[in-house]
Structure 1
Amino acid sequence: MRKWLTKIDQINRTESIIYLLMWLLMFTGSLFSILSNLGELRWSRIYIEWIRLTPFIIIFLINTTILAPYLLLKKRLVYYLISVSVLVTVIVLLSTQMHLLISWLFDHPNGSVLPRRPIKAKSDLLGERLIMAILIIGLNNTIKLLIQRQKEDKQHEEQKKLLLQTELSFLRNQIGPHFFMNTLNNIHALIAIDPDKAGRSVIRLSELMRHMLNEGTKEKASIKAEFGFLNSYINLMRLRCSKRVRIDVAFQVEDSDRMIPSFLFVSIVENAFKYGVDYSKPSFIEISATIVDDYLIFKSRNSKNIQIETAQKTGIGLENLQKQLHLLYETAYDLSISDEPDQFNIQLKIPIGHD
C-alpha cells in the first residue's frame, strides 16, 4: 500500500510540473510577442500582457481543481458541460471588459503608458477569448484524463500484484500441511518396521520443518537453498524405501544464487514418492535438474503403483503446482506430463534470472 501511495504522489507531482511548464511557456510566449512588436521589453507592457492572461488562469484553476475532478472524472458529463459553459461565458465576457479597460489605458491622455494601437472589434475579441478558453480547457482536460488513466493503470497493476501475492501465499500454505501429512504417515508406517529409521526420520523432518518455517514466508529462494531442501527431503524418503526401490538423483545446478520461487518442485518430488513406490515389485524414481542458458529444467520419472496410480495426474499437489505456474509465469513456462502404462513422467522448464 505504501509503495502504491508513493507512485500516486509521483503521478500528482508530474501533473503539477506539466501545468507549471504549460503556463511558463504561455508567459514566455507573451514576452516574445512584446519583443517582436516593440523591439524591446517594457515592464508596463509585460504587466498588461500578464493581466490579460489572468481570466484564463482563473478558468484553468476552477476547471482543474473543481469541475474536472468532481464532474468530468466522475462521468457527470451533463453537469460538467453546463458548468464549464457558464464558467467560460462569464469569464470571457469579463475578460473582454478588461481588454477594453486596457485599451482605454493606451488611449487615456494623462495616463497613456504605451503608444496608441488599434482597438479590436468586440465580436473579434469575444471570438479570440472564447477560442483561447476552449484551448486551455481542452489541454487541461487532456492532461488530466491521461494522468487519470495512468493512475488507474497503476492501481490496477498494484491490485493485480496484491491478488497474485494472496493467491500464491494461499497455494504455498497448502503445501506445508499436505507435505507434513504425507511425511508423518510415512514415519508412522516406518515405526512398526524399523524404529531406528523412524527415529532418524523424525530428526530429519524437524530439520525440514525448521527450513520451511524460516523460508516459508519468502516468495523466492536461491537455487542452492531450494535444491538443498529437496535433497534433504529425498534423503528422508530414502529411509522408508527398501532396496527394491531404485532412487537416482542428479541435480546439476551447481551452487547457484539465482532466485526461483520457493517450494515450487516439492509437489513433483512428493508425488513421485507417493505414487511411484510399489513394495510388491521393483520400483524406481529418477529426479534430475539442469540449467540450460537462462532456463531451469526439472525432470521426474517414476514407476507406477497400480493400486493408487490413477490419482497421480489429478492429485492436489500437481493441481496446486499448475496454478502457481500460471500465476508466476502466465505462459512463459513449459510443463509436460506423460502418463504411460508403466511409468509417469513430468518435465518442467522455467526461466531464471541473473542476480
Structure 2
Amino acid sequence: MNRQTLRYHLLGWGLLVAYDFVGIYGQHLSNLRQMLLLQFTFRLSMMSIFYYCFLLLFPRYLRKNRVPHLLLGLVLAPVVFAATRYALEQGLLPLLFGFSNYTGEVNLLHYLRDNVERGLPMMMVAATAWGVQDAFMQERRRETHQLLQEKTQAELAFLKTQINPHFLYNTLNYIYSEAYLVSEPLAEAVLRLSDLMRYMLHDSPDGKVEVRQEVAYLENYLALHRMRFEDKFFVEFTQQGAPQEQRVAALMLVPFVENALKHGIIHQAEKPVEIRLTFPTPQHLLFEVHNHISHHQKDHTTGIGLANLRRRLDLLYPEQYELAIENDGSVHHTRLLLPLDGPRPLPPATPPGRAVLAESAA
C-alpha cells in the first residue's frame, strides 16, 4: 500500500469514526462515554475484517484464482471479526474502563453466533475496494509496460541507426559495376561490403535472424580484413556445431571481433586473434574472442562499442545472457553465452490467384 492509498484509507476511516461520534454525541445519552468506546471498538473490528480481506485474502487467492483457498478464507472472515471484537469488548474494555459490551459470562462462540452477519457488509466493501484498486493497478501496469516497450523500441531503433549507413548501400551497385572493369579483387571487396550492408539493413519484427546469417556476416567481415592486410592478417575463426534455424539478435557477435581487431595484435602469427563459436546446448550459443593487446597507436573511432552492446543485451536478453570480459593488460578475452530462439514460423500459404513479388537483388 503506497502513501497515497494510505491517506485515502485514513481519510475514509476518519470520516466514518467522526460520523459515529456526531451521531452518538447528539443523543445526549447518560452513558455517552461507554457508547462512544463501544462504537469505536466495533469500527476497529470492522477494520480487522476489512484488511483481512483487502490485504491478505483477495490478493493472495482471488488474483491467482485459487478458489478453494478463497472460499475457506471467506468462511473464516467472520471468525476474524468476532474474535477481534471479543478481544476488545470482553478483554480490553473491562481491563481499562471497567465495563464490557455483554453482561455475564460470554465466550467467543457466543460472539461468533451473534456477529456472523455483522461482518458481511464490510467483506463486500473490502471486495469492492480491492477490485477497484486492482483494476487501476492493472491499467497502470499495462500503461507502464506499453511505455517500456515503446522506450525499448526507440532505443533499439537509435542503436540501429548507428550501424545502418543507408547512403553507402544505395551506391554499392554502381561502385561494383565500375570496379569490376578495373580490378576483380576490388569488385569482390565491394560485393562483400554490399553483403554486409544488405545484412545490416535487414529488418525483422523482433530484430532476430538465423544464426547462420549472423555467421555469414562475420565471415564476410573477416574476409574484407584479409583482403586488406593480405598475408599479415592472423585471425582464426572456428565453429563447432551446426545450428539449424535457431535465431539470435542481429549484429550481436561482430562488435567483439571489431574490438579485438581494433585493439589487438593481428599481424603476428604467434599471437593470432582466436574466435570460437560453439553450441553447448541446442538452445544456447557460446561466443569467445581471445586476443593479445596492442599498445601501438590505433584507430580511436568507437563503432557501436561494447557499452552500446551491453545496452542491447540488457534490452533484448534481460537476465538471460552471461558476459565475461577478462583483461590483464596483455591479453583480452571475451566470453558471451546467449539463449537461442527457435526457428521463425513459416509464413501462411499464398492464397490461390495471388502473385508474390520477390525482392530484387541489388
The TM tier, using the shorter chain, reads 0.5 to 0.7
Matched residues in 2 for 1:78 and 1:342: separation? Answer: 67
Check conservation: 2:247, 2:340, Cα contact below 8 A. Answer: yes
1:353–1:207 CA distance, 2 compared to 1 (3 A): closer
Contact 2:325 2:334 in 1 (8 A): yes
Structure 1 position 147, deviation (Å): 2.2
2:164–2:201 contact (8 Å) kept in structure 1: no
Report the counterpart of residue 143 of structure 2 in structure 1. Answer: 155
Distance 1:218 1:138, change over 3 A: closer
- What do residues 252-290 of structure 1 show as CA deviations (whole Å, max 9, x unaligned)? 241421121111112112222223355588752221111
Which residues of 2 match residues 169-208 of structure 1 at below 5 A?
169-177=157-165, 197-208=185-196
**Which residue number in structure 2 is paired with residue 331 of structure 1?**
319
Change (3 A) 1:280 1:145: closer
Alpha carbons of 1:134 and 1:341: their partners in 2 closer, same or farther (altered >3 Å)? closer
**Within the alignment, does 1:144 sit opposite 2:132 as a pair?**
yes
What SS class does the counterpart of residue 234 from structure 2 fall into? strand
Counterpart for residue 306 of structure 1: 295
Contact 1:220 1:262 (8 Å CA) reproduced: yes
How many percent identity over aligned positions?
25
Change (3 A) 1:303 1:216: farther
For 2:222, the equivalent position in structure 1 comes to 234
Supply the distance in 2 between the matched residues of 1:251 and 1:283 (Cα, whole angstroms).
19
Where do 5+ consecutive residues of structure 2 fail to align?
A: 20-114, 173-178, 344-362
Structure number with the higher helix fraction is 1
Question: Partner residue of 2:285?
Answer: 296
Question: What SS does the aligned partner of 1:330 have?
Answer: coil
Q: Is the 8 A contact 1:276 1:284 kept in 2?
A: no
Say whether residues 1:287 and 2:295 are aligned partners.
no
Q: 1:164 aligns with which of 144, 152, 175?
A: 152
2:254 maps to 1:266: yes
Residue type of the alignment partner of 1:337: I
Question: Residues 14-163 of structure 1: matches in 2 within 5 Å?
Answer: 134-163=122-151
1:245 aligns to 2:202 (yes or no): no
**Distance in 1 (alpha carbons) for counterparts of 2:219 and 2:242:** 13
CA distance in 2, matches of 1:244, 1:250: 19
TM-score, reference length from structure 2: 0.52
Structure 1 length as normaliser, TM-score?
0.53
8 Å CA contact retained: 1:223, 1:253: no
What stretches of structure 1 of length at least 5 have no aligned partner? 1-71, 87-126, 185-190
Counterparts of 2:342 and 2:255 in 1: how far apart (Å)?
Answer: 25
Aligned residues: 233
